[in-house]
Amino acid sequence: MSKIIRILFLLTIAVLSALPVSAIGNYASRPGFGGISVSFNGKFIRHPSIADGGFVSENGIYSCRFDIIAAGDEIRELANFRFYENDQLLYQLKKAPGSDLYISDSGITAFLDHTYHFRNELTVNIYSKSGQAIYSGKFAGAALFGFSPDGNKFGVGTTANLHIISLLEGKSDLLRKGFQFDISADSDLVAVAVENKILIYTGNRLAKEIQTDYFHTRGLEISPDNKFIAAVDKRHLKVFSLADGVLLFADTLSGPLSYRDLAANNGLILTGIHYRDNTSSRGILREYDYIGNIIMERTESRKAIPVRKRPQQPDDSFLTYDPIPWPFEPYDSVCTVWNYYEQHMAYNGSSYLHQGLDLITPIGEPVYAVCGGVVKCVLTLGGSSYWRIAISPEQSFGFSNGWLYAHLVQSSIQFDVGDTVAIYDYLGDIVQWYSDWGHIHFVEIRDYGLVWHYDDNEWGINYNPLLSLRPDTDTIPPVFDDVFENSKFAFCGNETSVYQNSDSLYGDIDIIAKIRDLVGDSEWEQPAFETYYWVVGVATGDTVFPRTLGQILNHAYNFYSVDPFIEWATVIYKRDNILIPSDWMNTRRDYYHIMTNNNGDSLIELSEKQLAFHTDNYTDGDYRIFIEARDEYGNSTIDSMDVRFKNGNVGVTGRNPGGPRDFYLARNYPNPFNAETMISYTLPNKGMVTLKIYDLMGREIASLVNGIQGPGDYSVLFDAGNHASGVYFSKLESEQHSQTRKLILIR
């Protein structure tokens, strides 16, 4: 522009900058930049939400409204969907094909279907502005999204690639996945920010690499005329020529300031800057011209951060875990538990285990850090309702643990990757999840590297958070309900739906109990945290089957979402056409705990589905089955039921006495054990037999049996007094057979 025009332009900016915010309006009212505003965390609000359910496009032209009629842990059902151009209704859908959505400035909508999130699967359904379905695709491990400015392309970052979907041609270009990406205004170029550089693609061809020296890029923007590209990390803004990759200018922040967002238009580069101290969080808009002059800077919004610290509560659990406060104020009050750790979830005919703790909160409730550390990730799994942050107490290149806080308002999240957080720091606010409440998904996870990526198959979960949250004032013990009318428990053939009458049990059976529990004042029923069962002969009162662990809902998994979740869920819970779990919106839920799918230890394996109670090990007659259910605080309830075994066995005292024997290595008892445990086994024939104990490295640590033995039942004591706590294996071998069992030694 000429010198005179430039002076007039700068004078105009100066006058506008001097006006109060109420007079100038917000960023959304400034021509040429669409409906973006700067939040108090420095992020641009590109798709503002509507209070009663809905979103607005960045340019403010298109909007939608909907009703949330149901909500699960990661799934919402959006009904009565209406789509508008300005105030004109363009189309309606009885039910939206997704739980969340993005709206482009051209009126194209990407619906994100999270139905099969437990399989690490996201379906993207894209509709035209007239309501026609124009694209549908499934993606694994999706955690990066965005439209091109013209709305003709949509990007999805997945496990292996960045998919750039051309909606007009119905095809995708597969590019290298990165931290951020941007598509040029003419859709010809795609920029991908990876560690230390920017990759520029034309179609699926890598055209150029530009060195940034950024470990983690927070924002990336191609200018509308394709002449330059800008990138920010926490402290630095760098602007490069797209023609030759030359650095045009740079700027650096210091102190409590950090870059959080970036945009370019009308000859300006706009940055969203976050100012944060102990008392306030402020969103600052700073504008640069194309040669690096700062022509305007203004605080657009702010939020006070009261300093509220309380001492951690003492560890009063019967299990030993590092105590943490609750993530909401007051930190010493039990929150409303909605979905439990390893709760049986059922939706659309699928079963899966809930991978954390869901706590119901008011919409917009502030979330606070339960421990200090370094931010490892800030990302969404698809849409504005799925933003999350993870914080690890250690900054490690290898594996480390950290707490995950999911379903935060993106424009409120206070930290980004690499930032340091202190305990009780304000992290952000809870999104609207249902019509009148929100929730947080909370769990400790384990992942690899300085930055955690959801889509790299390293995102594991560690343990039940209720074992760390303090205080836990749960005083309500679990409750048993009858599985069937006039039948306290249920009995079916192992892994079948053939249910047996309690007065004529035979063969290998699964024992099932219907148990429910409440945590604090929550009305949402939970499963039992821990179960045990044992069997007593009615006539003699003798325990014929010792007290054995059914399950404990505290398993660790080296994954966050996997495919065979129906199989994992049905190790712990029974599900068939007769025993059907409740929907996740019911406060009253049906949990059918399987007692017999466990080899006696606290681990879980898919192979344990084949385990069962062997009624034919015992003389026909009357027995009493006891089941104990405990919650995480130690409250317990015991219930029992009389049954009759009918296998035609008379005078049976052991495993198949007097009849054909199987080669069989029994579960050691007790397990877990301290120092000593009994190992029993059965031999069908005379021959050479060995029974040895091995550690996790496969090293032999004990030889208990090594010689010739005849057919029969045997028991041998294993004294582990000289060995450390850990997992060991017993291995029974004959000339024809071999069998191994897992042993847990706890000091």
Tokens 């929100």 sit on residue:
438
Average pLDDT, the chain: 88
Higher-confidence residue of 129 and 290: namely 129
- pLDDT exceeds 80 at position 196: yes
pLDDT confidence bin for 350, thresholds 50/70/90: confident
Strand-strand pairing, 357-361 and 336-339: antiparallel
- pLDDT exceeds 90 at position 43: yes
**Residue whose C-alpha is closest to residue 343's, from 200, 517, 459:** 517
The stretch 685-703 carries a mean pLDDT of 90
For the chain, the 3-state helix, strand and coil shares in percent, each to the nearest 5, are 5, 50, 45
pLDDT attached to residue 8? 37
- pLDDT exceeds 90 at position 413: yes
- From residue 734, give the alpha-carbon distance in Å to each of 187, 243, 598, 708: 69, 74, 25, 9
The stretch 288-302 carries a mean pLDDT of 93
The stretch 187-201 carries a mean pLDDT of 96
- The pTM score is 0.83
- 507-539 pLDDT, tens digit each: 999 999 999 999 988 999 999 999 999 999 999
Question: 3-class DSSP state for residue 119?
Answer: helix
pLDDT attached to residue 560? 66
Question: 3-class DSSP state for residue 704?
Answer: strand
Pick the CATH number of 661-747 from 1.20.58.1030, 3.30.70.1140, 3.40.50.10140, 2.60.40.1930: 2.60.40.1930
The stretch 148-160 carries a mean pLDDT of 93
- pLDDT exceeds 80 at position 7: no
For the chain, the domains span 324-470, 661-747
- pLDDT exceeds 90 at position 242: yes
Is the separation of the CB atoms in 172 and 163 below 8 Å? Answer: yes
**Residue whose C-alpha is closest to residue 296's, from 34, 7, 2, 11:** 11
Alpha carbon of residue 470 to chain centroid = 22
Which parts of 114-170 are beta strand (E)?
A: 121-127, 133-140, 144-147, 153-157, 161-166
Identity at 72, one-letter amino acid code? G
Higher-confidence residue of 564 and 702: namely 702
715 burial type by CB count under 10 A (0-12 exposed, 13-18 middle, 19+ buried): exposed
Tokens 């402290």 sit on residue:
235
- 208-236 pLDDT, tens digit each: 999 999 999 999 999 999 999 999 999 99
Instruction: Evaluate the CA torsion angle 429, 556, 510, 482 in order and state its sign.
Output: negative
pLDDT attached to residue 130? 96
- The yes or no reply on domain 324-470 and CATH 3.30.70.20 is no
How far is Cα 658 from Cα 660, in angstroms, rounded to an integer? 7
Residue 428 sits at the vertex; the CA angle it makes with 426 and 432, to the nearest 5 degrees, is 140
Tokens 């969340």 sit on residue:
100
pLDDT attached to residue 267? 84
- pLDDT exceeds 50 at position 11: no
- The pLDDT > 70 percentage for the chain reads 91
pLDDT attached to residue 561? 55
- pLDDT exceeds 70 at position 312: no
Token readout for 494 is 């192992």
**Residue whose C-alpha is closest to residue 106's, from 64, 172, 62:** 62
Which residues, listed in sequence order, are joined to residue 67 by a DSSP beta bridge? 79
Higher-confidence residue of 27 and 500: namely 500
How far is Cα 674 from Cα 363, in angstroms, rounded to an integer? 48
SS (H, E, C) 540-604: CCCEEEEEEEEEECCCCECCCCCCCHHHHHHHHECCCCCCCCCCCCCCCCCCEEECCCCCCCCCC
Is omega for the bond preceding 306 within 30 degrees of 0, making it cis? no
- pLDDT exceeds 60 at position 13: no
The stretch 656-682 carries a mean pLDDT of 74
